Amino acid sequence: MLGWTIDDHRRATAEGLSARHRIETTLAALAALDDPAVLIGGPLVEYALAEADRLDASGARDLPLFGVPYVVKDNIDVAGVPTTAACPGFASTPTEDSGVVARLRAAGAIVVGKTNLDQFATGLVGTRSPYGTPRNPIDPTMIPGGSSSGSAVAVARGLVPFGLGTDTAGSGRVPAAMCGIVGYKATLGRVSTHGVVPAVRRVDCTTVFARSVADAAAAMAVMGTYDEADPYARPAPVRATRPIRTVGVVTEWPAGLLDGPTHVLYRDALARLEAAGVTLVPVDIAPLLEAGALLYGGPVVAERYAAVGEAIAGLPDDADPTVASIIGGATRWTAVQAYATEYALADHRRVAARLFATIDALAVPTTPGVASLADVAAEPIAANARMGRLTTFTNLLDLAALAVPMGLRPDGMPAGLQLMGPAWSDDALAALAATFLGEAAPAAALPTVPTVPLIVVGAHLQGQPLNGQLTERGAHLLAATTTAPRYRLYAMEDTVPPKPAMVRDELDGAAIAVEVWAVPVDQLGSFLTLVPPPLCLGTVELVDGTWQKGFLCEPRAIVGAAEVTHFGGWRAYRASLASAAVPS
């Protein structure tokens, strides 16, 4: 059963194969594993077999993950199984499941092992553990990535269909890139962190590894439900489904950030995204990188001390020296510096919000390159920092992210591509990631609200002064198109901001550039209250012959107004005014 997917297990369940048989086979593969550093404490034989027998006896074979084995990073609680966070002296045995394990257990999934990690989830390299370094499944001289090293390796080797990790600075995405698999980091607060040893608690995420987007999404659909026991949990809002049509990309990289092979693969990945039908938009990610530097380079790291600093101080023999130096050094920061950093982060979040008002998603490599075990041994702090340059800002800025393989480098190592989006863009990111990998888009998991199409002509167009009245209501752009050639456009007098008036002319009209926006039905009423007379809502014919609700005007609107039909649209007319105002 090596390499089985969740669908393989579902078919086996439908054909009558017991959960126990599948779990026994998985446990045997784990016991025969030639890498003792993947699991902490070995396979969970008694626990997993008891769970399998319980499931088989229940007859609940319609559970979505009936008998599906998975592994859990050992900073996530499983009732009755020690949690070590890769620090032997810190180990304790919880009496209840973490929120995420409880949800997976209720869905029929079975934990078969606890996996190794960078101690206290402090690291992106996978080498900071007294239990050893899991071997990279592609090249054993390279790092496996961290901190969720063991889970990523177990999934990459086909031992289980999915595994749990955590991600504060990139720990659920960097190992995915280094092992050539999928790493799914949902919106902050979507997946419970109750029963997870905290790192930076307010930006910690519980994540999932899989070899396909389909498996990652299937696990996430079960994992990602609101948990009242987690004070940082957020219920998913009911929102309009927003497909990804524009993707921000980096065309001018800071000098020395990407290595050559990663740069080549990134360019190839952008071509594949464009072939998938999205529009690529060049963006500047320097402000995002500045925000990411605050995670380890400022007082935010003091939150790690608040979580586990006393444990490290009390267990000097068990503490990894690099981890101890990072967390122990956090005591130098003052409360004043911490607040100053929070103010800076608020500014960075506003910058990010403005960026994502112009694009639906951002695509960047998961890591700037790769790192060998020798690199980390020579420069333990610097090598780790390099691996996280493109991941550390994500949670600080409240972004969702999905990391997928984007190809193999000349040295045979995989490289990852990150697709990032604003909070609650998870489903759209998963759909785009699946398309990128040639998979069918997974079913949406977040609640959605129906939308209605609305044609806008002037000040509500993308980039125009009143577009925010749409975007703040969760509306998204469906298409940029034109009307049928039966309309005239006028620039109304004395309107602030300037607005056009469009009227239908059956005999001597023209095609006018418009946009079609999807507006959530529960937001349409509040939007219409903002539409001043003499503008009104009517029915507009598009160039493809369809009719949709859109902006028209009362006849009095064009009295004294200048006709601008010959410009072909409001944006072109406004651009002509701007160019005319520039002195020669």
Catalytic site positions? 73, 147, 171
Rounded Cα distance, 104 and 98, in Å: 10
> DSSP secondary structure string, 517-528?
EEEEHHHHHHHH
Quick check: 382 and 324 in contact, CB under 8 A?
A: no
Q: 99-106 vs 213-223: helix axis angle to the nearest 10? A: 110
Cβ partners under 8 Å of residue 398, min gap 6: 187, 188, 349, 352, 422, 423
CA 56 vs CA 4, 43, 154: distances in Å? 20, 20, 25
Query: Which backbone phi and psi does 80 adopt, to 5 degrees?
Result: 85, 0
> Which residue, among 151, 191, 220, has the nearest Cα to 434 in the 3D structure?
220
Rounded Cα distance, 553 and 151, in Å: 60
Structure tokens at 65: 């993950």
- Beta partners for residue 554, in sequence order: none
**What is the arrangement of strands in the sheet containing 246-249, beginning at the earlier edge strand?**
110-115, 69-73, 162-167, 205-210, 182-185, 399-408, 414-422, 361-365, 246-249, 279-282
Half-sphere exposure of 61 toward its Cβ, with a 13 Å CA cutoff?
A: 15
Rounded Cα distance, 236 and 461, in Å: 28
Cβ partners under 8 Å of residue 532, min gap 6: none
Residue 277 backbone class (left: φ over 0; alpha: ψ -120 to 50; beta: rest): left
Length in residues, the chain: 584
- CA geometry: angle at 120 spanning 118 and 122, to 5°? 60
Quick check: 392 and 147 in contact, CB under 8 A?
A: no
